[in-house]
């Protein structure tokens, strides 16, 4: 199954939940910043990410944004940023 590129961003008010969200998203992230990550996901992985984040977030205090990026668009990067690439494998540890 082919992976698609998503931006996953969150704003979480609790430091404990913030760390849990970071750990969760980094499971699939290939790049990103503090709370915005580039993730290559299959449909199943996307659904798993949603389920895990739903267990972490408090909807009345936190937010999660998942955006599928258009594969026809070439990413523009500046500075130390690298264009997102779909790796052959992921290390989950």
| Structural domains of the chain, count | 1
Give the residue-averaged pLDDT of 35-63: 94
Q: Which of 30-34, 44-48, 88-92 has the lowest mean pLDDT?
A: 88-92
Domain with 46 in it: 4-68
Strand, coil or helix: 8: strand
Residue 21 falls within a domain, yes or no?
Answer: yes
Domain containing 20 — which CATH number? 3.30.70.240
**Is residue 79 in a domain?**
no
Q: Is the pLDDT of residue 78 over 70?
A: no
In a domain, 51, yes or no: yes
Q: Check: CB of residue 67 under 8 Å from CB of residue 6.
A: yes
Whole-model pTM? 0.78
Q: Is residue 62 part of a domain?
A: yes
- The answer to whether residue 56 sits within a structural domain is yes
What DSSP string runs through 37-93? EEEEE-HHHHHHHHHHHHHH--TTT-EEEEEEPPTTSPP---TT-------S-----
Number of H helices, E strands in the chain: 2, 4
Q: What is the mean pLDDT of the chain?
A: 84
Give residue 25's pLDDT.
92
Residue 9 above 70 pLDDT?
yes
């Amino acid at each position: 199954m082919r992976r698609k590129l998503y931006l996953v961003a969150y704003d979480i008010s609790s430091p404990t939940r913030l760390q849990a969200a970071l750990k969760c998203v980094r499971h699939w992230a290939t790049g990103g910043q503090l709370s915005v990550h580039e993730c290559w996901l299959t449909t199943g992985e996307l659904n798993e990410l949603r389920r895990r984040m739903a267990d972490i977030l408090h909807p009345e205090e936190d937010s999660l944004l998942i955006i599928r990026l258009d594969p026809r668009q070439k990413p523009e990067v500046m500075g130390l940023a690298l264009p997102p690439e779909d790796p052959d494998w992921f290390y989950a540890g």
